[in-house]
Chains A and B, each alone.
Chain A
Amino acid sequence: MNIFQDANRKQIADRRRTDWLLHILFVVATSIGVIALCALIIDILIDGISRLQPDLFTNFPSRKADGSGMKSALVGTIYMLLIMAPVSFIFGVGAAIYLEEYAKKGRFTRLIQLNISTLAGVPSIVYGILGLALFVRLLALDRSLIAGALTMTLLVLPIIIVSAQEAIRAVPKSRRDASFALGATKWQTVSRSVMPSALPGVLTGVILAMSRAIGETAPLVMIGALTYVAFLPNGITDSFTVIPIQVYNWLSKPQLEFKELAASGIIVLLVLLLLMNFSAILLRNKYQKNV
């Protein structure tokens, strides 16, 4: 007896063809994204590679393209990170701990939660407007490094809160129970049991949020940081510039040389982003091994 005799060959062939067609479609869909990204990177590399000289990092921007650099922008970006990272870590993780561990799970908490999730998707320029009103005007910080960093902190805070909450939520309940059953208080449980387990996930979120912030331009343009800065900030109330702003400045000039400078600035930014995302991946892998 042939157990295959009742197979419907035509129907099977049709199914196989559908499968094959969709396979092709998915490959094409993926390729479009990858090709676009490659084209972008190659284009920028062609434009900018010749300007990737020591001058770029050691010189200030100037009116002449030759010998023009982005020292002030690079340092500005790093200073901004140095302020933003601890401030957003403290407030972001603090809020996440409160919402996950302390807040009563009532209607009010749900409302806050909804708000935070929504804020994570608000266009960045809106944060610029808020920063302008709050830090530049009300607190009279002017368009200073601190005003810029705080505006950016507001921008990344919802992202950090949401990702930290996820990391905290991922810590098994049994680990909290073990701690409480030994007579730990809430804070002891959070600080000694929950946070050590959640920290790699929290840090990953913080790094990814930072890498979003250093590429942002709109909020800084909004608070008036779109200026020509040919010096390093001496304190947090000095004016400053950052890499994307410097790129924007160069792009707005008509000469070709400045376009090349802009491209090299983008390369530096991309490398920085890549490094940050890479370290986030390293952290995540280490975390997965430990748990």
Chain B
Amino acid sequence: MEALIHIDKLNLYYGAFHALKNVTLTIPEKAITAFIGPSGCGKSTLLRTLNRMNDMIPGTRIEGGISIGGTEIYSNEVDVETLRKKVGMVFQQPNPFPKSIYDNVAYGPRLHGTTNKKELDEIVETSLKSAVLWEEVKDHLKRSAFGLSGGQQQRLCIARALAVNPNILLMDEATSALDPISTLKIEELAQELKDKYTIVMVTHNMHQAARVSNQTVFFLNGEVIEYSDTEKLFSNPTDQRTEDYISGRFG
């Protein structure tokens, strides 16, 4: 697997607080990478550096570099809107807009200048199909997204992210607010999507990481302790702290 994202000696500070310490990591293309580790260890923070959502948190300072497909994303040539179009994000709580299902999915394409009705129709349909939601909603696209169940809303948010044609999909504990069946559906969906997209997911559920990911990264207190093939990390970790964590001794 080819590496798509290179993170090189990344340090991130929230004011005086050193949240990410010298993180060096590569993330393979068209595969699922899972971030695991106890709560507060910096998983979400690292995820948010990949689409620069941290830029909006006042007092955040960053050192080191991240390149995606060879482009340094914190350089001046990169405009953050284009970056976020290429690096989609799904949040912990499903957060649809108070708009119709159709308008939710069409929100992104419209931002980037698609106004043609037929084109939008097509994007909405393919995105909803990719998110395995089309069959459930195709007859009432004009209904409010708030009428959907939590699991459906989360798949709608995935469809919304896919609608702007990203290469990378970031998922920050995207299933932790969902019931087990909806969780399973999202996990299956992630498996399907990895053929076309590079997926980075944060999970506090080790079993989820073991079930769905190809590569797993273990974090502790803002540091990457270890990362490798998921299978290897769970069966044969090299660091004692990783072993302690995956065997449930803390966290």
Q: Is the CB of B91 within 8 A of A178?
A: yes
A-B contact pairs, 18 of them (CB 8 A): A177-B95, A178-B91, A178-B160, A179-B97, A180-B53, A180-B84, A181-B51, A181-B89, A181-B91, A182-B84, A182-B88, A182-B160, A182-B164, A183-B84, A183-B85, A184-B81, A192-B111, A193-B107
* Cα–Cα, bound, A196→B56 (Å): 22
Question: What count of chain B residues pass the 8 Å CB interface test?
Answer: 28
Map CB proximity to A onto B107-137 as digits: 1 under 8 Å, 0 otherwise: 1101110000000000000000000000000
Known contacts A105-B58, A178-B157: A183-B95 contact under CB 8 Å: no
The 8 Å CB contact of A175, one of B51, B95, B108, B112, is B95
Once the chains bind, are A177 and B53 in contact (CB under 8 Å)? yes
- Establish whether residues A291 and B84, one from each chain, have CB atoms under 8 Å apart when the complex forms: no
A181, closest chain B residue (CB): B89
For residues 86 through 100 of chain B, which have their beta carbon under 8 Å from a beta carbon of chain A?
88-89, 91, 93, 95-99
Interface membership of B75, Cβ < 8 A: no
Interface of A (DSSP majority class): helix
B56 contacts across to A, CB distance below 8 A: 180
**A153 on the B face (CB < 8 A):** no
Cβ-closest chain A residue relative to B83: A183
Assembled-state Cα–Cα distance A68/B112 (Å): 61
Chain B residues with Cβ below 8 Å from A291 are 98
Decide if B176 is an interface residue (CB 8 Å cutoff): no
Contact A183 B98 (CB under 8 A): no
Q: Which 4 A/B pairs are nearest by Cβ-Cβ distance?
A: A183-B85, A174-B95, A182-B108, A181-B89
**Chain A residues near B91 (CB, 8 Å)?**
174, 177-178, 181
Say whether B161 faces chain A, with CB atoms less than 8 Å apart. Answer: yes
Whether a CB of chain A sits under 8 angstroms from the CB of B82 is yes
Q: Which A residues are CB-close (under 8 A) to B161?
A: 181-182
Q: Report A's interface with B, CB cutoff 8 A.
A: 104-105, 172, 174-175, 177-185, 188, 192-193, 196-197, 290-291
Chain A residues near B88 (CB-CB < 8 A): 181-182
Residue of B nearest to A172 (CB): B95
Contacts of A174 in B (CB 8 A): 91, 93, 95
Q: Which residue of B lies closest to A186 (CB)?
A: B56
Given contacts A105-B58, A174-B93, A177-B91, contact A182 B98 (CB under 8 A): no
Bound CA–CA A181/B157 (angstroms): 11
Beyond A174-B95, A179-B97, 5 extra complex contacts between A and B, CB < 8 Å: A181-B89, A182-B164, A183-B82, A183-B111, A184-B81
User: B82: which A residues are within 8 A, CB to CB?
Assistant: 183
When chains A and B are docked, how far (Å) is the Cα of A196 from the Cα of B100?
13
How near does chain B come to A177, taking the closest CB pair, in angstroms?
6
Residue of A nearest to B94 (CB): A174
A58 to chain B, nearest CB (A): 46
CA separation between A105 and B84, bound complex, in Å? Answer: 25
Most buried by B among A177, A181, A188: A181
User: Do B53 and A188 have beta carbons less than 8 Å apart?
Assistant: no
For A192, list chain B residues within 8 Å (CB): 107, 110-111
Which of A172, A188, A197 is within 8 Å of B111, CB to CB? A188
A188 to B107 alpha-carbon distance, docked (Å): 10
Q: Are B98 and A181 closer than 8 Å at their CB atoms?
A: no
Are the CB atoms of A181 and B81 closer together than 8 Å? no
Across the interface, B97 reaches (CB within 8 A) one of A105, A183, A193, namely A193
- Report A-chain residues with C-beta under 8 Å of the C-beta of B85: 182-183
Q: Which residue of A lies closest to B95 (CB)?
A: A174
